[in-house]
Structure 1
Amino acid sequence: MRIRLLAREHLGTVAVLFVLTLGACLLVAGLPRATQAAYDEALRRDLQAAPAVQTDLAVTVNSGSRAEDLRERAQFDSREHLWREILPPQLRPVTAPSGAGHMSAKTTLTPITGTGGKSFLNLGWLSDADRRVDWVRGRAPGAPATTRYEGETIPVFEVGVVEQALDKMNLRLGQTVFVGENDYAAVKIVGTFRAKDPGDRYWSHNSDILRILEEQPPGRQDFVRHITTLTSDAGLTALSGEGRNLTYRWILPLEPRAADALDVPGLRAAVHEFDRVVALQTVGTASPYRLVSGLPELLGGFLAELSTAQTVMYLVLGGLLAVALGVIVLAVQLLADKLDRTLSLARARGGSLPRVAGTAAALTALAVVPAALIGYALSYLVPGPVLPVVHAGPVVVVVVAVGFAAVGPALTHRTPLHERREDVATARPSAKRITLEVLVVVLALAGAYLLRARGLSASAGQDPFLLVVPIALTVAAALITLRCYPYPLRLFVRLSARARAAVPFLGLTRAARSRSGSVLPVLILLPALGVSVFAAVVSDGIASTQRLAAWQQVGAPVRVTAESEIPGDAIERVRRLAGVEQVVLAQTGRVQVGYGAERAEAVAVDVTQWRAILGDAPVGLPALSDGVLVSPELRGRGTLEIGWQSRLKLATRGVIESVPGFFTTGKFVVVPIGVQLRPAVNTLLIKGDVSLPELARLVPSARVVSQESAMAAIQEDPLTSTVRSTLVVVTVALAAYALVAVVLSLVVGAAERARAVSFLRTLGLSERQAQRLTVLEILPMILVTALVGLGLGLGLPAALGPGVDLSSYAGDLAVGDYSLDLFLPSALAAGLAVVAVLGAYAHTVISRRRSLGAVLRVGDQT
C-alpha cells in the first residue's frame, strides 16, 4: 500500500498523533533532565552552605612524644602528598587540588598557669597564616627562645592573638604568660592580628583562633575561656606533644560545584573507604591517623530529602507517562478505525496479515518517529545531565504506539471479511477474571493500610512498596469503575423506560452498553485526574506548611535579635522608622530553674501585644497576663521558681509546644516582661512594611529577619522549587491530556454514533433530540470517571500517609494538612463536562451536514 497516500488521506489524524507524540517525548525526556539538574544544584547549595569543617576531609593524628613530633613543614607536605595519592577515585573530582588545602598543629586545653583552669591559652600553627591574617599591632612571631622557670629550662614561644582576645582574656601586648600545670612553657605575645576575610570557609576549621570559646560549667556562674594563638614556622620546631595535647591536621577541601547528586551514594562509600585506608598508614606512631569529616552525615541527610523528592517525581512523572501513552494509544485507535475499511478491503483481496498490520504500523511510525526525534532533540534545550530515561522515554513512546498500531489490526483482521456485532452487550466476564480483579482490589487496599502502618522501609534508596501502592490503587479504582459503571446506569435506564420521552432511554441505554469502547478513556482519565489532583493537593499542602514554617522561624512580621542589650535610643529610632506600625520589646536569656544546675531558655515579652502583631498568622500563643507558660518538659511543677536578674516565683498558666521565632524543643519558659526589674531588651518584634537594610543600619549589632525573607528562603531551595514547579507542570499537562482524551473518545466513536443518530432521525428524531441523545451517551462515562479520579487524587495523600515525608520542602515541618480545596476538582470536572457537551453538540452539527440516504446506504453495505 502507498503509505504517503494514506497519510494525505488521513492527514488530520496523523497530525494529531504527531503533536501528541512530540509533546509526550519532550515531557518524558526534558522533565527528568530539569529535575536532575535541580537535584545537583540542591546538593551543591547544601555543601556550600554547610561549614567547611563539616564538608572537608580532615586527616588528624595526635602526637604523644618527641619521636612522633613533626617539626618541619616538609614533614607535613610529604604526608599531604600521601593522602592525595590514596584518595579514592570517586573523591578526587570533588576534592580541591594540592595547594588549596592547609595544615595545622594545635594544642588543646593548655591552661594559663595560676588561673585555676579558668583561662586556656593554646598554641597553634597554620601552614598558610601569612595569606590569611593581617598583623595590626606589634609584629609577626619569630623564632622561639628559652628561659629558666621553676628551676627548669623551658621554651619561650613568640605568638600573636586576635585583637579582641587582649581585653577578654586580660592580656597585654608584649606580656609573657606561663602555661601548663607541670610541663611549663612561656608564651610571649608579640602582636595582634585580624583575619583578611573572616567570612571565608577556611575559618570554619580554625574558629578557635578567631574567637574566644566561653563555657559555663554546671553549677558555676563564671565562664571558662579558651583562645588559640598563632606561632611561626620556627616556633613549630619547639612545639612538642610530650606533656601537651598536640594535634596535627591536614585539610583537603571539598569542591561543592563539582558534586553530582547521582554520585552521592558513591561519595559516601568513598569517604568510608578513605577513612579505612588512612588508618592503615599508621606507622611509627602510637596514635592512629583518623579521618574527621561530617560529609557522610551531610550526604545522608541529602539522600533522605532526595529520596522523598524522587518518590514524588516518580509518582507524578510515571503517571504522566502512562497517561501520555494512553492518549497516544487512543489516537492510534482513531487512526486504526479510519483505516479499518481500507485494511478490510486489502485483506479481502488477498493481502497477508503481516502486510495489513505492517501498513498500519508504518503509517503510525510515519507520524510518531519524526515527532519523537524532534521532541528528543528539543529536550536538549533543557539544562541538565542526560539520564538513561532521556533516551529510553521517547523509545518507549514509539514502541508502544507502533506496537499497538500493528497488534490491533492484526487481531481485528485475522480473517478476511470479518463480521462484528457492535449492537450487543459485552459478554459476561469469567469467574477467573472476576477473582483476579477482586484480588487486585484487596491487595491495593491492604497495601495502603500497611504503608500507613509501617511507614517507609529503613533500607537506603527508594521503597518499592511506596511506588507500587499508588499504582495498585489506581488500577483498583479503574477496575471498580469499569465493573460498577453500568449498574447505576441500568437503574436510570429502567426509570427512563417508564417515561414517555425516548431520548433519555436511548441515550442511557447506549451509554450502559458501550463498555468495551469506554475502557480506554477510563484508563486514561483515572490516572490523569488522580495524579493531577494528587499533585495539586500536595503542592497546596507544601505551600501552606511553608507559610507556617516561615512564621514559626521568625515569630513576627519582622524580628531584630542582638546578642547584647539594644540601646534605648536605637529602639526609639526604630519606632520612628518609616513603615513601622508597632514594636514589641522582648528579652531572651538562659535562666536557672530552682536552685540546682537545671537551666532553661526564657523569653520575657508582653504576650498581649505580641498576639496583636501576629494578627491572622497561623501561629500564636495563649493569653498571658501573669504567671508563666512552660514547655512540656517543665509541665506539672505548679509554681515555678527561676533565677533571672532576681528570684521569681511564677504560677504555671499553660503548657506550649513551641514559641514562634524562639524555641521549638527543650526546656523553655515565657514570662511577662513586666516581672523583670529592668528588662535588658535584646529582641524587637516589629509589625509593618519596613526596610530590612535600614533596620540593620539602625541596630548594627543585631540580626534582622522577616517572615517574607524566611518564606523566600524556603521556597527558593532548589529541591523545594523543583518539586513544586514539577507538580504544577504535571498538573497542567495531565489536565490537558484528560481533555484531549475526552475529545478523542468522542471522535473514536463518532462514525458509529453518527450512523445510529442518522437511523433515528429517519424515525423522526429532531436535531435537538439528537444533541441530547449524544450528550446522554457520553456524559455518564466522563462524569463517573472524573468523580472517581478526583476522589482517588484527593485520597492518595491520606492513603500514602507517612510514606511521603515532605518536611524537607516545608521548613522541616511535617506536611500533613492536606485540606480539601474543592476549587481545582470542581474546575477539572466542569472542564471535562463542558468539553464533552461541546463535543457532542459539534458532533451533531457535523452529522447534520451528511445526507441521510448516504449514511443508510453505507450502513446497509456493512
Structure 2
Amino acid sequence: MRIALLARAHAGALVVLFVLTALACLLVSGLPRATQAAFDRALQRALISAPAVRTDLTVAGESRSPREDLHEPAAFAERERRWRALLPATLRPLVAPAGHMSAKTSLTPVTGTGGHTYINLGWLSDADRRVDWVAGRAPGAPSTTRFQGQRIPLFEVGVVEEALDQMNLRLGDTRTLGESDFAAVRIVGVFRAKDPADRYWTHNTDILHVTKLQPPGKLDFEFHTTTLIPDAALAALSGESRNLTYRWVLPLNGQAASALAVPGIGAGVAELERVLTLQATASTPYRLETGLPKVLGDFTAGLATAQTVMYLLLAGLLAVALGVIVLGVRLLTDRLDQTLALARARGGSLRQVAGTGAALTAAAVVPAALAGYALAFLVPGPVLPLAHLGPAFVLVAGVGFGAARVALAHRTPLHERRDDVAAARPSARRITVEALVVVLALTGAYLLRARGLSAQAGLDPFLLLVPIALTLAAALVTVRCYPYPLRLLVRLAARGRGAVPFLGLTRAARARAAGGLPVLILLPALAVSVFAAVISDGITGTQRLASWQQVGAPIKVTSTIEIPAATIDRIRATPGVEQVVTAQTARVQLGYSSERAEAIAVDVAQWRRLLAGAPIGLPELPGGPSALVSPELRDRGTLDIGWQSRIKAKVAGAIDAVPGFYRTGKFVVLPQDVLTRPAVNTLLIKGDVAPGEVARLVPSATVESQEGALAAIQGDPLTGAVRTTLVVVTVALALYALVAVILSLVVGAADRARAVAFLRTLGLSDRQAQRLTMLEVLPMVLVTALVGFGLGLALPAALGPGVDLSAYAGDLPVGGYSPDLLTPGALAAGLALVAVLGAYAHTALDRRRDLGGALRAGDLS
C-alpha cells in the first residue's frame, strides 16, 4: 500500500501520535538524567559539608623505635608519594594533589600535675600558611636543659590563645613534661588560626582548641593542648620515649564524586585499608583513618529511598505514557479499519495488512522517539542506561501494538464484529489470570508491611513491584466490576419514561472494549499523581515540624557567656520583636556522683505562649521546684541537682525532647526562678525581625531561625530532587489523564456518531444527544477517578515502612499523612469537566454531519 497517501489522509492522527511519543521519550529519557545529576550534587554537598576529618583519607602510624623516626620533612614527603601510589583506581580521581602531614605526641603530662594537665608536641607541614603569630615569635630549633641532674631536650613551642586562659599558661613559661622520660617546653609564641572555619582544622582541633575531659568516675577535669613545633624540632622528636603518631592527610575532592561511583569508592577504601596493613613493619603499624564509609553509608540510605520513590513514579509515568500512546495508535488503526478491510477482502495477505499498520505507525513514532531522545540531551546530567532503553521501549511498544492490533482485527477477511450488542464474556483463563494478579498484589502488600525493606543495600525490587501490582489489580477489578452497578442503574432507568438514561447507561455498561483501556490508563495516572501529592504534602509538613524542633522558637540566640541585661533590653526594644523569653543552659551534676545531665532553666509558661500556633509544644510545668525530665530520669522521684547551688526538684513529668535543645540523653527542664541568680545565655524570640539584626546586637552569640532551618532542610539537593520529581510527574500524569479522556472520546466517536444518527432518525434532539453522550462517558471517568483517588491515598499506608522519607524531612519520620485534597480533587474534577466538554463538543460536531453519510445502507435493513 501507499504509506505516503495514507499518511496524508490521516495526518491528524499521526500528529497526535507524534506529540504523545515525543513527550513520552523526552520524559523517560530526560528525567533519569536530571535526577541522577541531583543525586551527584547531593553527594558532593554531603562530602563538602562534612568535616574534613571524616571524608579525607588519613594514613596514620605510630613510631615505636628510633629506626622508624622521621626527622625531616623530606622523609614525610617520600612516604606520602608511596601512599598515593597505593591508592586504588576508584579513589585516585577523588584525592586532591595538595595534602598535609603531621607528627604529634599524645597524653604527654606536665610533670607534677597529677595527670590533670597535658601539653603535647605537634608539627604541621604547612603551619606557616595556616597560623598567624599574635604574640612572641615563631619557635626555633630545640636545645637542651638540665632537670634532676640530667640533660633533657628543650623544645621551643607556640600555643593557641585559648590555652593561655584555660590552662594558666604565659608567654615565656617553661614546663617539664613526662613522668619518667622527661622533656621541657618553652612557650615563645602565641598563634591564631588564619581561617578557623577552614575544614583543614577539623584534622587538628587539638592544636586549635583546648580539650577538656572528665575521666569516668572522677569529678575533676583534665586539660589537653597540643603546641606547635618547627621543622627543626623533628630531629629531637622520637617515638622511643613518647606516644608519637605520624599522619599523612590525603584530602578528598568532593566536587569530583559521582553517586554512581559510590559502591566503587567504598570498595576502594576497603582495598586501601588492606594494602596499608601490608606496609606495616615490626615497630610501625599503619592504618587508615577516615569516616568516608559512614558518610557514604548515610548518603546511600537516603539515596535508596529517593531512587525507590523516583523509579516508582517513573514506572507509573512510563506505563501511563505507553497507555496513552496505545490509545493514539488505536485511534489511527481504527481510522484505517475500512481501508485495510477492503484490502484484505481484495486478496491482501495478513502480513501486508499488518505491515501497513506497523509502517504507518512507525511513520509517526520513529521520528517522534528520535526527537524526544535528542531533546533529552539538553537536560544536564549523566547518561544512564535507562535514558537509552526508555525511548527504545516506547518505540518498540508503539510500532508493535500497531502491527498486532491490525493483525488481530483483520486476521480473517470481512470479519464483522458488533461489540455494542452485548458485553463480551471473558474466558475462564483470563479470569483466572486476573484473579491471580489481585491475590498476588494483596499478598505482596501484606508481606511488604510485614518484612519491611530488604536488608541488602541498594534498591529493593519488591518495593517497586508491589505498588505496580496493586495499581494493576485495582484497574482490573475496576474494569471487571464497574459495569455491574451500571446494569442496576439500567434496570431502574428502564422503569422510567425517558429513553436517554436507559440508552446512555446501557452503552456505558456494554462498552467494554472502548472503556477498558481508558480505565487502565486513567487509574494509574490518578493513583500515582495522588500518591505523589500525598507524599509531597507529607514531606512539606514534616520539614516544617523538623525546623521547629531544631530551633525551638522563631529565633534562638545561644551564647557561651552570659548575655548582659542591657543587651536583652535592646533586643526587646527592637522594632518587630513581640516576645523575648530568657533561659540558661548548662551541664549539671545529678546527686553527688559523677552523673551529669543537660539542663535548661526557663519560664515554661512564657515559652508555651511563644510557641502558640507552632506544630510543637511543651507540657505545663507546675510552680515551685519541679522539673520535666527525659525518659531515662522519669523514675527518680526527686532530683538533687548541683548547679549554682543544690536544687531539689520534684519530677513533674517526662518529655521525649526539648525543642531546639535536647533530643537524646539525660536532660532536665527547670523553672528559671529556682536559680540563685539566673545567668542568661539563651534567648527565645518571637516577632518580625531579621536574624541578622539580632546577631548584630549580640555579636558573641549564635543566632538560629526556624525559617533558616526550614530553608536548609528544603535546600538539600536530594530533597529538592525528590520534590521536583514529584511535581513534574504529578503535572505530567495529570496532562496524560486529560489526554486519555479526550482520546477515549475520539476513539469511540465513530461508533457513537453512528448510534446517535440512528436515534436521530427516531426523533432524538440535540440536547438529548448531549445527555446520551455524557451518560456514556462520565461513569467510566467518575468510577476510575474515585478508585484512583482511593488507591493514591492508600499507597503510602500500603508501602508502610518500605519508604523512609526521614532523610528529606530533617531526620524526622514522615508518617500520619493528612493529605491536602485540593490537588487530587481538582484533578478528578478536571477529568469530569473535560468529559462533559468533550460530550458537548462531540454532539456539536455531529450536528454538522449528514445522517445519510453517517449511516450505511446495510445498517437500515
**TM-score of the aligned structures, taking structure 1 as reference length:** 0.98
Contact 2:538/2:819 (<8 A) preserved: no
Q: Who is 2:72 aligned against?
A: 72
Aligned pairs for 1:180-579 within 5 A: 180-218=178-216, 220-283=218-281, 285-579=282-576
**RMSD (CA atoms):** 1.4
Shift, 1:359, TM fit: 1.7
CA distance in 1, matches of 2:76, 2:385: 45
Q: Which amino acid aligns with 2:99?
A: G
Q: CA deviation at 1:356?
A: 1.6
Which range is displaced more, 162-171 or 613-622? 162-171
User: Separation in 2 of the partners of 1:513 and 1:373?
Assistant: 39
- Aligned amino acid, residue 90 of structure 1: T
Name the SS of the counterpart of 1:714 in structure 2.
Answer: helix
Answer yes or no: is 1:27 the counterpart of 2:38: no
CA separation in 2, counterparts of 1:620 and 1:136? 48
Match of 1:786 in 2: 785
Distance 1:186 1:858, change over 3 A: farther
For 1:216, the aligned partner's letter is: Q
Q: Quick one: which of 109, 134, 137 aligns to 2:107?
A: 109
* Distance 1:240-1:859 versus aligned 2 partners, 3 A rule: farther
Partners of 1:546 and 1:106 lie apart in 2 by 43
Partner of 1:119: 117
Give the deviation of 1:858 after TM superposition. Answer: 5.8
User: Which residue pairs with 1:146 in the alignment?
Assistant: 144
**Cα deviation digits, residues 569-599 of structure 1 (max 9, x gap):** 2111211222111100011111222222221
Q: Structure 1, unaligned stretches of length 5 or more?
A: none
Give the SS at the match of 1:490: helix
d(CA) in 2 for partners of 1:334 and 1:845?
Answer: 20
Name the CA distance, whole Å, in 2 between partners of 1:176 and 1:592: 35
Pairwise CA distance, 1:777: 0.9
Residues 537 and 819 in structure 2, CA contact (< 8 A), matched pair in contact too: no
Q: Which residue of 2 aligns with 1:776?
A: 775
The one-letter amino acid of 2:92's match is R
Shift of 1:859: 5.8
- One-letter amino acid of the counterpart of residue 641, structure 1: D
Give, in whole Å, the separation in 2 of the partners of 1:439 and 1:11: 42
Identity fraction in percent: 72
- The structural deviation recorded for 1:132 is 1.4
Partners of 1:28 and 1:393 within 8 A in 2:
yes
What is the CA–CA distance in structure 2 between the aligned matches of 1:113 and 1:166, rounded to whole Å?
A: 18
Shift of 1:212: 0.6
Report if aligned partners of 2:139, 2:229 keep a CA contact under 8 Å in 1.
yes
**Any conservation in 2 of the 1:550–1:710 contact (CA below 8 Å)?**
yes
Per the TM alignment, residue 303 of structure 1 is displaced from its structure 2 partner at its CA by 0.3
Show the counterpart of 2:10: 10
Q: Distance in 1 between matches of 2:504 and 2:10?
A: 30
1:790 Cα deviation after fit? 0.7
Q: Secondary structure at the match of 2:377?
A: helix
2:809 is aligned with 1:810 = yes
| Per-residue Cα deviation, 1:320-375 (whole angstroms, up to 9, x for no partner) | 01101110110010000011111112222222222222222222222122222222
* Residue deviations 1:64-122 (CA, integer Å, cap 9, x gap): 1212211122221121111111100000011002xx10111000010111111111100
What is the match of residue 594 of structure 1?
591
Which moves more between the two structures, 841-850 or 342-351? 342-351
Q: Which residue of 2 aligns with 1:130?
A: 128
Q: In 2, Cα distance between the equivalents of 1:537 and 1:61?
A: 53
Deviations 1:193-238 (A, max 9, x none): 1112211111111111111111123454442111101111110011
Moved more, 641-650 or 799-808: 641-650
Q: For 1:861 and 1:720, how far apart are their aligned partners in 2?
A: 64
How far, CA to CA, are the matches of 2:858 and 2:68 in structure 1?
101
Aligned pairs (5 A) from 1:725-736: 725-736=724-735
- Cα offset for 1:19? 1.1
CA distance in 2, matches of 1:607, 1:387: 55
* 1:607 aligned partner: 604
SS at match of 1:849: coil
* Residue ranges of structure 2 left out of the alignment (5+ in a row): none
Q: Tell me which amino acid in the other structure corresponds to 1:34.
A: A
Letter in structure 1 aligned against 2:38: A
Amino acid at match of 2:246: Y
Give the equivalent residue in structure 2 for 1:648: 647
Change in CA separation of 1:859 and 1:522 when aligned onto 2, cut-off 3 Å: farther
414-423 or 617-626, larger mean C-alpha shift? 414-423
1:703 equivalent in structure 2: 702
Measured in 2, the distance between the counterparts of 1:437 and 1:355 equals 34
Q: Is the 8 A contact 1:755 1:859 kept in 2?
A: no
Aligned partners of 1:685 and 1:617: how far apart in 2? 14
Alpha-carbon deviation of 1:448?
Answer: 0.9
My pick for the range that moved more, 420-429 or 759-768, is: 420-429
Residues in 1 aligned to 2:125 and 2:277: alpha-carbon distance in whole angstroms: 23
**Deviating more after overlay: 132-141 vs 812-821:** 132-141
The reply on whether 1:163 has 2:165 as its aligned counterpart is: no
Q: Is the 8 A contact 1:607 1:625 kept in 2?
A: no
Q: Which moved more, 1:48-57 or 1:495-504?
A: 495-504
Q: Separation in 1 of the partners of 2:661 and 2:859?
A: 83
Deviation of 1:615 (Å): 1.4
| 1:56-71 pair list within 5 angstroms | 56-71=56-71
Q: Using a 3 Å threshold, how does the CA distance of structure 1 residues 722 and 344 change in structure 2: closer, same or farther?
A: same
Letter in 2 for 1:156: L
Shift of 1:818: 0.8
1:188 maps to a residue whose letter is R
1:757 partner letter: V
Q: Please say if 1:685 is aligned against 2:673.
A: no
Q: After the TM superposition, which of the residue ranges 200-209 and 527-536 deviates more from structure 2?
A: 200-209
> How many positions carry a matched residue from both structures?
859
SS in structure 1 at match of 2:180? coil
**Offset of 1:654 from its aligned partner?**
1.6
Q: Partner amino acid for 1:487? A: Y
Amino acid paired to 2:375: L
Amino acid at match of 2:148: E
Q: Tell me the alpha carbon deviations over residues 472-511 of structure 1, each in whole angstroms, 9 at most, x when there is no partner.
A: 1011101111111111111111111111211111111111
SS in 1 for 2:264: helix
**Match for 1:297: what amino acid?**
K
CA distance in 1, matches of 2:262, 2:305: 15
Deviations 1:730-767 (A, max 9, x none): 11110110010000001000000110111011112111
Aligned mates of 1:423, 1:233 — CA distance in 2:
95
Of 343-352 and 475-484, more deviation after overlay is shown by 343-352
Deviations 1:388-414 (A, max 9, x none): 111221111111111111111011111
Report the Cα offset of residue 138 of structure 1. 1.8
Residues 53 and 204, structure 1, Cα contact 8 Å, conserved in 2: yes
Moved more, 610-619 or 633-642: 633-642
Question: Is residue 155–residue 185 contact of structure 1 (8 Å, CA) maintained in 2?
Answer: yes
Counterparts of 1:247 and 1:727, CA distance in 2:
51
Shifted more, 307-316 versus 622-631: the winner is: 622-631
Matched residues in 2 for 1:798 and 1:782: separation?
A: 25
Deviates more, 1:55-64 or 1:213-222: 213-222
1:602 counterpart SS class: strand
